[in-house]
Chains A and B, each alone.
Chain A
């Protein structure tokens, strides 16, 4: 893993390849070091292995869904404090409530993909990282 110390590492867990590739390219062009996972179990492994600075997590994922992955991540010592942005297209209050109860402080960290342009997302990600 060629981890650049100056570069922030982002983990994108996303099963839709078009979205994953587009986002990855954009974030890399913004200078981030991006690692990706196509499902929840892979995502969890990548998170714990790489300790990314921020995780962009989809909810509807094969094998292990996003909420389950998040719950497992919170059990990990490092993972319990890892910053996560839910980036999904699922709009369900139940799901939001469930994910909030997993340890989210801020509801605005629940992003609907269609409502966010790549540009805005970069701004928001940078804000989040600056808060760290």
Chain B
């Protein structure tokens, strides 16, 4: 603006100068004319005289001034018009430049087209979207933009609607010259002058996200619909069912219509699980709830065993609870059948294996009472008894292991007299003790009597440890010490002998693995199964206690086991 004014001022001054000069020339001519009017042919003498008077001079001066003023005023007026025009012109140029910059730098692609659809202008962004140069686009008909056939077929150009003044919005796919496919959204409009304007947005990324979302949604739907688990989705705030899959509808016998919108604690099958709002709030509060083996009454009144898992999570800022309900009726039934089958197998096997063994055992024993066997026969007879005993022990151990490993090891704790249990134990070892020439020392604190434990399991463990102490203890050491100590939390029972397990052997047996025997053990006792320590460990652990040992050349070998006092 300042620039324009300065320019106009210079012009104004120039015109002013011109006006002044013209006036001066006029004045000079007038003076000459006055001075020499008598000599000029054109003027009659009277007029000449008049002119040369004061009046004449004044008149000339006034005309001159008037002349000057008129000219300068006219010039000024013209000057003002010129300035205004210039101002408007400059403003227009500036705003057009601005508009051009705006169009060119727009984040959206812009195409301008003539009334017959020929491209007259494209902006930089449009060129970037299309991957083409401006020169390649201008002058072309808009329909020759590289739209894919399919997308043009799906969304054709609608000049008809544009001409009606409608804004046409459509998504089309462009196959760029570089082979890249882009999705664009075009918004086209007819301008008041009959030309067209289209604004295009690259929506490739949005489209991909949308497509992926759609695929994910479809996948989820399929999973949800086809799931062999019953699924309910609840509004975590209200407990209202938002969604349910066909499987739960089948399980409960309720239609989707009956379920959706209802509150979970109002639906009768869940009465046992979430019987009231308080229980629901608990579920909502915990975030994760797992119930195993719950009864669920279906609409038709059939009771099914179910597993109920619920999770709380956010779906777009909204808390929902997903409940997975699995019908485990069949599984529970099968598990029970399997349990019975296992149990039957175990008892049948044990019975079938032991019956001939016990027959042999007793018959052999009965024969042993016959005093008329020759020494040779007696020796052979001894082999028979030994072999049978080995077989019995092996069968017992194997049955123990089977029972442990099939999870059939039951712990039935009750209060027993520890003295009685230990006396029973030693009485069953009498033969071995006298054969090995051992001296048994039992140390039980006075007054200690009642212990809460499973007597069968403790007996089994002590039997194995005592057996080892007698058989594997050093032949020259006589004492076997069994002691019971009462501690704060448990009872510690130890069985000690003077034998020493060498370090290699310790490594082998330290974990109480099955079928693992200490080095040299088979030379002492070929009949050992390598199961005793394993069984001991398992039965003690099942009772909640521990078992371990210490062995050194100096202090001999002590095996320890604990019986926890806790009644839990």
A22 / chain B contacts, CB cutoff of 8 Å: 359, 362-363, 366
Select from chain B the residue with minimum beta-carbon distance to A23. B362
- Which B residues, 403 to 432, have Cβ-Cβ distances below 8 Å to chain A? 403, 408-410, 412, 424, 428
Asked if B103 is an interface residue, CB under 8 A from chain A, the answer is no
What is the minimal beta-carbon distance from A26 to any residue of chain B, in angstroms?
A: 6
How many angstroms from the CA of A60 to the CA of B355 in the assembled complex?
Answer: 11
Of A42-50, A69-77, A78-86, A94-102, the one touching chain B: A94-102
What is the minimal beta-carbon distance from A123 to any residue of chain B, in angstroms?
A: 8
Q: A97-B412, A114-B357, A115-B392 are known contacts. Are A91 and B350 too (CB-CB below 8 A)? A: yes
Task: Tally chain A residues at the interface, Cβ within 8 Å.
Answer: 30
- Which A residues, 85 to 114, have Cβ-Cβ distances below 8 Å to chain B? 88-97, 100, 107-108, 112-114
**B347–A92 contact, CB under 8 A?**
yes
Give the dominant DSSP class at A's interface: helix
A60 / chain B contacts, CB cutoff of 8 Å: 351
A29 / chain B contacts, CB cutoff of 8 Å: 369
B355 / chain A contacts, CB cutoff of 8 Å: 16, 19, 89, 113
Give the dominant DSSP class at B's interface: helix
A107 / chain B contacts, CB cutoff of 8 Å: 455-456
Q: A60-B351, A107-B456, A114-B357 are known contacts. Are A93 and B362 too (CB-CB below 8 A)? A: no
**A119–B365 contact, CB under 8 A?**
yes
**B363–A18 contact, CB under 8 A?**
yes
**A114–B358 contact, CB under 8 A?**
yes
Q: A19-B359, A114-B358, A118-B366 are known contacts. Are A90 and B408 too (CB-CB below 8 A)? A: no
A16 / chain B contacts, CB cutoff of 8 Å: 355, 359
Select from chain A the residue with minimum beta-carbon distance to B411. A93
Interface residues on B, range: 20 to 34
**B359–A92 contact, CB under 8 A?**
no
**B424–A113 contact, CB under 8 A?**
no
Asked if A4 is an interface residue, CB under 8 A from chain B, the answer is no
Asked if A5 is an interface residue, CB under 8 A from chain B, the answer is no
A89, A108, A115: the one contacting B351 at CB < 8 Å is: A89
How many angstroms from the CA of A89 to the CA of B403 in the assembled complex?
Answer: 15
Asked if B343 is an interface residue, CB under 8 A from chain A, the answer is yes
What is the minimal beta-carbon distance from A1 to any residue of chain B, in angstroms?
A: 26
How many angstroms from the CA of A44 to the CA of B350 in the assembled complex?
Answer: 25
**B365–A118 contact, CB under 8 A?**
yes
**B359–A93 contact, CB under 8 A?**
no
**A114–B361 contact, CB under 8 A?**
yes
A26 / chain B contacts, CB cutoff of 8 Å: 362, 365-366
**A89–B358 contact, CB under 8 A?**
yes
How many angstroms from the CA of A117 to the CA of B363 in the assembled complex?
Answer: 10
B263 / chain A contacts, CB cutoff of 8 Å: none
- Which A residues, 38 to 65, have Cβ-Cβ distances below 8 Å to chain B? 60
What is the minimal beta-carbon distance from A45 to any residue of chain B, in angstroms?
A: 24
A90 / chain B contacts, CB cutoff of 8 Å: 347, 350-351
What is the minimal beta-carbon distance from B235 to any residue of chain A, in angstroms?
A: 48
**B392–A114 contact, CB under 8 A?**
yes
10 contacts between A and B (CB under 8 A): A16-B355, A19-B358, A19-B359, A89-B354, A89-B355, A93-B408, A94-B343, A96-B456, A113-B355, A118-B366
